[in-house]
Amino acid sequence: MTLSIKGIAASRGIAIGHAYKLERGRPEVAEACIHKNDINNEILRLKLALEKEKKQLRNIRNKIPAATPSNIAEFIDTHLLMLNDSALSEAPIRIIKENCCTAEWALKLQLDALVSIFDEMDDQYLKTRRDDVIHVVSRILRLLTGEEASVYDDTGILNNKIIIADDLTPADIVLMQHHGVIGFITESGGPLSHAAIISRSLKLPAIVGVHQAKKYLINNDHIIIDGESGTVLIAPDINTEIFYRHEQKRLQQYYASLSSLKKEPAVSLDNINIHLFANAELTEDMNSVNENNVDGIGLYRTEFLFMNRENTPDEEEQYQALLNIITAMNGKPVTIRTLDLGADKPLKSIQYGENPANPALGLRAIRLCLSTPDLFRPQLRAILRASAKGNVRIMIPMLSNIQEVSQVFEIIKDIKQELSQEGLDYDDRIPVGGMIEVPAAAISAYLFAKHLDFLSIGTNDLIQYTLAIDRIDEEVNYLYSPCHPSVLRLIHQVIKAGNRAGIPVAMCGEMAGDPIYTRLLLGLGLREFSMQINTVQEVKNIVNNSLVHRLVRPARSILMCDHAEDALEKIKNLNNQIHLQ
């Protein structure tokens, strides 16, 4: 009999294969003393395991496809930095010497000490860092015990398997895909968890948040995962399997056909031009961006220049990095978001208050920049200088009041005068826009539209702040829904405010690149979408097969829904009406 269990759809697609349960709780390590003569040998074992893990992570990083969002590589870079940190490279060695114990036990003692420190810090960002430390140390422990090698050295053990696990790191997923894994099911996680994001990037079907999946599934169970509906089918009957194999083949043909759209513009059946932009943050992203023939960069994240380093980059380093992106875009617009860092994504070179209780609501993004001129002014100078070399726009993140806009304009005005006095070129009419990702800004979008040259809706944070949930907190991430009536109405309100003011409105959050919402957003009046590069052609295909004027009435009826579930059902019906003719 076929058993069906549900989870959260994380990455679309269908996988049909056999289950492989990854039993990867924190490795059990017993206390073990050694003779003094064996201390050097244990230190050597630890160092070799650290070096092997570094090598493996570097190899994993090199296997990441070019079109994968660069924040996936950042997850792996974070783990590499941890391996180089003295907390893991030096402290366990000291413990081995002081306690005459094995490398495993020393590492276990150090992990317990680190976790204890993190547990005393009551904020969600530090909780994710705690989990990263556990992931990294657990991998080293598995190397020391031989467990990790046994999985990956047998190249056939994971081939055509669907992994069942508590959770997976980005490094796990890239490595497992390399070993032939075709899909993932995790007991924890949400739609914006690390596992979900990288699964979508790699186009691996995945379902997360399947509570007690390991209880219902055993190794070699024949299963189907439907990444569209979030359904796991155990022991499907022959008719069910035939249906899903046909559907799988149809999807494969569909995705293969999308490559033919790369040279085509995004134009609806009623001749409405839609602008599709890419989100980017590294020069390495530019090959994929240009290959997909987008209209420009709708969100260039500048944070990568500041992360994982002791000192902040100076003006010249930032200028050169921006120049590389602008040159690569060859005249197409590049929207540069000013630094979006803060207590939730801290810089080593900036001092923050002690343990902020709610870092996502604290000193971050434009608030941090305005309070730290030595950080903000060099970046604005670099952007303005780069604007002389191409089509550049400035975008301010996390605006919540008009005073912040006025302050930014004053600083820009002052810097322009400086550059003129120094004889340096810049675009005196460089457009300045704002990210609308705080409910206060969405409600007051009509005010921001009076002062700014464009608006861009950052749906990830807008949804999180509107619904008062942390999207990476597994206790509440089930509440994260782009279809919530308040979220949809705020989005529509921002689009209307921009239209009335005669300025462009874009969307640059995950919702912009999710084909489920493309027709809804078109019907609500959105004409600029900025997304991860690997979703551009699918969104374009929907645009090119839609009559936009026929989407307006059904989109507005969706705004009237009382429940997110009802809105999603209507959105699905909207998507099923081919061309809406």
Q: Evaluate whether 516 touches 549 at the Cβ level (below 8 Å).
A: no
Q: Catalytic annotation on 194?
A: yes
Q: Evaluate whether 380 touches 411 at the Cβ level (below 8 Å).
A: yes
Question: Which one is catalytic: 194, 275, 484, 492?
Answer: 194
Place of tokens 């992931």: 135
Strands 297-301 and 334-337, bridge-based pairing? parallel
Buried b (16+ CB within 10 A) or exposed e, 507-534: bbbbbbbbbbbbbbbbbbbbbbbbbbbb
d(CA 491, CA 489) in angstroms, rounded, equals 5
Beta bridge partners of 506: 456, 528
- Tell me the H-state helices in 64-207: 70-84, 86-89, 91-99, 103-119, 124-145, 147-153, 170-178, 194-201
Q: What type of residue sits at position 492?
A: H
Tokens matching residue 194: 């690390």
d(CA 412, CA 398) in angstroms, rounded, equals 18
DSSP letters of 110-122?
A: HHHHHHHHHHTS-
Place of tokens 């919530």: 484
Tokens matching residue 475: 């206790």
Question: Which one is catalytic: 369, 483, 508, 561?
Answer: 508
Q: Catalytic annotation on 33?
A: no
DSSP letters of 327-392?
A: HHHTTS-EEEEPP--BTTB--TTS---SS-S-GGGSSBHHHHHHH-HHHHHHHHHHHHHHGGGS-E
126 Cβ neighbours under 8 A, 6+ residues apart: 118
Tokens matching residue 152: 């990956």
Q: Evaluate whether 525 touches 476 at the Cβ level (below 8 Å).
A: no
208 Cβ neighbours under 8 A, 6+ residues apart: 7, 8, 10, 184, 185, 186, 188, 189, 190, 191, 193, 195, 196
Catalytic positions: 194, 508
